[in-house]
Structure 1
Amino acid sequence: MYAVFKRELNSFLSSMVAFITIGVFLLVSGLLLWFFPDTSILDYGYAEMGGFFSLVPYLFMFLIPAITMRSFAEEKKEGTYELLITKPITLWQIIFAKYLSCLVLVLFALIPTTIYYFSISKLGLPEGNIDSGAVIGSYIGLFLLGTAFTSVGIFASSLTKNQIIAFAVSAALCAFAFLGFDYTSQLFALKSFETTISSLGINEHYQSISRGVLDTRDLIYFISFSSIFLLFTMLAAGGKK
């Protein structure tokens, strides 16, 4: 499994796709946090990163599908998938190795954003006047959100040979998983079931963790969500080897 993981990661890092994708993510998030009037923390006037953590999930809806779209689609298009599954490795190990390699790239995109925390901490009056616990909780929430979106992206890539289609399907599924259940409960005015329906979506659990509260129910939700889509990927990729 490590050989597949290493191969996938090297494949990403040897191309410009990963660097361009991550670079665009960092550029856009930086502009939103520091320069755009409606979202700039300098105009907001408070030393906190709530706005940043509210915006990143929407950027993830495009960043992560861009990272995962080639996972299986490129293999199928180039005809290397059939060769890969003949190797002495289970299909589950192949899927998990691809999943982990994509998740590492998501981490690579998140790590540079920690400079925003240190910058805001320095700018605070008094210096260091920032809720570090909430920031840590929000980063944990972003990572868990990344695990969920990555599993969706891997699944979408296993459905087609076309990377653009994989990107579009993944982005649509991520958007629905994050916002769809909230909108569904409001659309049909299902007040008696609103909480239940909302709890099925990712946003409810992401917001909970972002408040700095690590609830085991939220952790179980993200683990279950990712596991379900990885299982879907196994079924779409041809079942058990």
Structure 2
Amino acid sequence: MYAVFKRELFSLLNSLMAYITIGVFLLATGLLLWFFPDSSIPDYGYAELGSFFNLVPFLFIFLIPAISMRAFAEERREGTYMLLAIRPLTELQIILAKYLACLSLVVVALLPTLVYYFSVYKLGSPAGNIDSAVVAGSYVGLLLLGSAFVSVGILASSLAKNQVVAFALAAFICFLVYMGLDAAAKIFSMQWIEGLLNGLSVNEHYQSISRGVIDTRDLVYFFSFNVFFLAWTSFVLKGRKW
């Protein structure tokens, strides 16, 4: 499994698409946080990164599908998946290796954004006038959100043979689980349906963790979300192998 993880991670790190995607992500967050007047931190006047943590999930909807779209789609197109299938590895081990490789690249994309935290920390009046606990909780939320979107991207890549189709499918599902369930909850007047849809919404649990309080219910939700989509991917691969 480690060999597949290393191979996949090195493949991603050697991909021009990965660097372009991460570069666009960092450029977009930098411009929106420091230059655009509607979301600029200096114009806002408060030492906090709320605008950043509200913005990143929407960028993730495009960033993560772009990273994960080649996980299985490329293998199927080039016919190299059979080389993996004949190794002494289970489908679950192959899926986890690709999942962890894509998630590692998401972490690499997030690491440079810590500069924003240290910048606001120093610019605060007095210096350090920022709620670090909320920032830490929000970063945990971003990692959990990223892991959920990666599991969706892995599934989409296993369903499609074309990378573009895998990207579009993953982006659509990510948008649906992040924003679609919230929008659907507002349509229904029955409180139990609204509560059910909100409980299934990724955004609801992400916002909960972003307040700086890590609730076990949110952790269980994201764990279950990942297990569901990775198990679905395993089912797809086993069906195709059969």
Same fold by TM-score, threshold 0.5 exceeded? yes
Describe how 1:163-174 pairs up with structure 2 within 5 A. Answer: 163-174=163-174
| Separation in 2, partners of 1:174, 1:190 | 25
Structure 1 residue 2: deviation in Å? 0.3
| Separation in 1, partners of 2:173, 2:221 | 17
TM-score, with normalisation over the residues of structure 1? 0.97
Aligned to 2:178: 178
Letter in 2 for 1:29: T
Aligned to 2:34: 34
SS in 1 for 2:24: helix
| Separation in 2, partners of 1:192, 1:98 | 38
SS in 2 for 1:48: coil
**What's the Cα RMSD here?**
1.2
TM-score, with normalisation over the residues of structure 2? 0.97
Percent of aligned positions that are identical: 63
Aligned to 1:4: 4
| Separation in 1, partners of 2:216, 2:55 | 25
| Separation in 2, partners of 1:189, 1:78 | 50
Letter in 2 for 1:65: P
Residue 22 in structure 1 maps to residue 13 in structure 2: no
Describe how 1:133-152 pairs up with structure 2 within 5 A. Answer: 133-152=133-152
Kept in 2: contact 1:148–1:225 (CA 8 A): yes
| Separation in 2, partners of 1:192, 1:149 | 27
Aligned to 1:197: 197
Write the deviation string for residues 5-56 of structure 1: whole angstroms up to 9, x where unpaired: 0000111111211111111100001111111111111111100001100000
Structure 1 residue 192: deviation in Å? 4.5
Write the deviation string for residues 125-163 of structure 1: whole angstroms up to 9, x where unpaired: 011100000000000000000010000000000001100
Q: Which has the larger share of helix?
A: 2
Aligned to 1:231: 231
| Separation in 2, partners of 1:124, 1:6 | 41
How many residues get paired? Answer: 241
Q: Which runs of 5+ in 2 are unaligned?
A: none
Letter in 1 for 2:238: G
Letter in 1 for 2:108: F
| Separation in 2, partners of 1:193, 1:92 | 34
Structure 1 residue 191: deviation in Å? 3.7
Kept in 2: contact 1:185–1:191 (CA 8 A): no
Structure 1 residue 199: deviation in Å? 1.2
| Separation in 2, partners of 1:15, 1:55 | 26
Structure 1 residue 181: deviation in Å? 1.2
Structure 1 residue 190: deviation in Å? 3.4
| Separation in 1, partners of 2:192, 2:155 | 33
Describe how 1:1-241 pairs up with structure 2 within 5 A. Answer: 1-239=1-239
Q: Which runs of 5+ in 1 are unaligned?
A: none
